[in-house]
Amino acid sequence: MYTAYLKHLGQARLLRVIADRNSPQGRTIRRGEAQLLNFASNDYLGLAANAGVIEGARRAMAEFGLGAGASRLLGGGCTLHGELEQRVAAFKGTAAALVFNSGYTANLSAIPALATNEGAIFSDELNHASIVDGCRLSGAERFVYRHGDLSHLAGLLQASAREPKIVVTESVFSMDGDIADIRGIRELCEAHNALLYIDDAHATGVLARGKGSLTHFNIQPDDNIVQMGTFSKAFGSMGGFVAASETIIDYLVNCARGLIYSTALPGPIVAASLAAINYVDAHPEVVETLHENISNCKRLLLSRGINVPATPTAIIPIYVETVADALRVSEYLLARGIYAPAIRPPTVRQSRIRISLSALHSDEDIERLSASLAEAIGCL
Ligand SMILES: Cc1ncc(COP(=O)(O)O)c(C=O)c1O
C-alpha cells in the first residue's frame, strides 16, 4: 500500500523529498556543491545565524547544559524559560505568556484546551495545518468559514448555542501572504462573546515594527484575545508561545497537553529566542529593511507583469495553473542558483511559487529573482 501510494505521488508529481543544506540558514545556502540564493526561509530578519543570538545560546549552554530532562511541570524549565515568557508578554502587551516546544505544539495544545469538549471552534478555511490539527484534536464542534468571509463567520457564530466559542485565524496567511481582517473578526467576537485566537506566526517580527497584528490594527490586547506565535520564523530560533491573560495562561499550564506531557525546550534555544526578541526591539531598522525589500520586490515583479498581492508581508505567492508549471518555474530558478520552492497540493489548492523575503536580501538579489522569475514564467 505504501509503495503504491508513493508511486501514485510520483506519477502526479506530488512526491516530497527532503533536501538538507550544508551551510547555516541565510541569504544564501549551500546544498551539495550548489550555492543558492535563498527565497525559501521564514527567517525574515536573518536572525537564525545572527552572532548575538548564537552567543546567547552559547552562554546558556555553558550555564544550563543542553537537554531539559523533564517537562516544565517537573523541573525541566530553567530560569530562562520564565524570563522569555515575561519578555514575550511585554512584547505582545499581555499580562502573561507561555512557551511551547514549537508553534505546531502550541496550536495543537492550546486550541483543544481552550475550546473544551462543550465549545465550538470557528476556523478560517486557509488556516495552517497546525491549527487544523488542533481543531481535529478537540472535542468541540468545528465550523470552517470561507477564507476571510466575515458574513459567513457571522452566520455560523449566530447559529451556534455552544459555549465557549473560539474564532481561530492566522493574521498573515502562511501560503498567500494576505492579512486577515482582525478588526472585523474582533468585532464579531465581541458581538458573539467569542474568544479570538490569532496565529501571529508570520506577523510577529514583521508587522508593526515586529510587534505583530494587534499593533498593526491598533487593537489593545485584552482578556478575550489570545495571541499565538513562534520563535522559529522571524526570531530565527525554535519554539512557540501563547500570550494572553493570566487566567488563560494558568489554565493552559493545567490543560495544554503539549506543555504537560513533553520535555521542555533546551535552555540554549530559549536563550536564543530571548536574544532574538531583544534584538528586534533594539533594531527597528532591520524590520524597516525587510519592508523596503518587500516593496522593492513587489514593485519589480509588477513592473515585469507578474501579479502580486499588495500586502506588506514577507510572503509573496506567484500562482501558476498546474503542478507541472510550479515545478518548471522552480527548476528553472534552481538551475540559475535561486531557491524558490514550488508549493503544491495538498499544502495548497492552487500550485504556486512561494517567495519569502528577508532583511538580508540585497537590491541585486531581488533584481536577480524578479528577472529570472519573469523569464521562467515567460517560458511556460
Ligand atoms: C501559521 C503557522 N502557524 C504555526 C506554524 C508552526 O510553527 P513552528 O514551525 O514553530 O512549529 C507555522 C509554521 O509552519 C505556521 O506557518
Closest CA to 45 of 178, 233, 215: 233
How far is Cα 185 from Cα 323, in angstroms, rounded to an integer? 33
Query: Is 201 close to ligand 1, i.e. is its CB under 6 Å away?
Result: yes
- The span from the CA of 240 to the CA of 68, in Å, is 16
What distance in Å separates the CA atoms of residue 52 and residue 337, rounded to the nearest whole number? 29
- Give the separation between CA 202 and CA 205, rounded to whole angstroms: 8
- State in Å: Cα 128 to ligand 1 middle: 7
Question: Nearest 5°: CA angle at 372, between 371 and 374?
Answer: 65
Range(s) within the chain of domains with CATH label 3.40.640.10: 52-282
Q: Look at the block and give the residue holding cell 501579479.
A: 307
Beta carbon of 104 within 6 Å of any ligand 1 atom: yes
Distance 240 CA to ligand 1 centre (A): 8
**Helix, strand, or coil (residue 213):** helix
| CB-count burial class (<10 Å; 0-12, 13-18, 19+) for 4 | exposed
- Spatial CA neighbour of 78 closest among 242, 267, 332: 267
Q: Is 258 in the pocket of ligand 1 (CB under 6 A)?
A: no
Ligand 1 atom nearest residue 172's Cα = 1
Q: Which residues pair with 100 in a beta bridge?
A: 240
Check residue 201 and give its pLDDT: 98
pTM beyond 0.95: the answer is: yes
The list of the chain residues with pLDDT below 70 reads: none
Task: Please name which of 275, 252, 269 lies closest in space to residue 195, comparing C-alpha atoms.
Answer: 252
Look at residue 238 in the predicted model and tell me its pLDDT.
98
% of the chain at pLDDT higher than 70: 100
pLDDT digits (tens, 9 = 90+) for 35-47: 999 999 999 999 9
Atom index in ligand 1 nearest the CA of residue 170 equals: 1
Output the CA torsion 255→258→262→268 (10° steps).
-110
Q: What is the set of active-site residues?
A: 42, 128, 170, 174, 199, 202, 233
Q: Write down the mean pLDDT value for the chain.
A: 97
Ligand 1 midpoint to CA 44 (Å): 14
Q: How far is CA 322 from CA 112, 344, 346, 372, in A?
A: 36, 9, 13, 19
> What pLDDT score was predicted for residue 380?
82
Is the peptide bond prior to 164 cis by the omega test (within 30 degrees of 0)?
yes
Establish whether residue 102 lines the binding site of ligand 1, counting it when its CB lies within 6 angstroms of any ligand atom.
yes
What homologous superfamily does CATH list for 20-49+284-378? Answer: Aspartate Aminotransferase, domain 1 (3.90.1150.10)
Q: CATH assignment of 52-282, given 1.10.1200.10, 3.30.540.10, 3.40.640.10, 3.40.50.300?
A: 3.40.640.10
Q: How far apart are CA 27 and CA 316, in angstroms?
A: 16
Domain with CATH 3.90.1150.10 in the chain: 20-49+284-378
Q: Which alpha helices (H) appear in 116-232, and where do they start and end?
A: 129-137, 150-159, 182-191, 213-216
Please give the distance, rounded to the nearest whole angstrom, from the Cα atom of residue 353 to the centre of ligand 1.
Answer: 18
Q: Is 39 in the pocket of ligand 1 (CB under 6 A)?
A: no
Q: Are 165 and 123 in contact (CB under 8 A)?
A: no
Q: Are 229 and 204 in contact (CB under 8 A)?
A: yes
Question: Hey, which of 47, 128, 173 would you mutate to test ligand 1's pocket, going by the most ligand atoms within 8 Å of its Cβ?
Answer: 128
Q: What distance lies between CA 377 and its chain's CA centroid?
A: 28
Centre a 10 Å sphere on the Cβ of residue 146 and count the other Cβ atoms it contains: 12
Note whether 107 and 84 are within 8 A (CB). Answer: no
CB 43 within 8 A of CB 358: yes
- Residue 166 to residue 223: CA distance in whole angstroms: 13
230 in ligand 1 pocket by Cβ < 6 Å?
A: yes
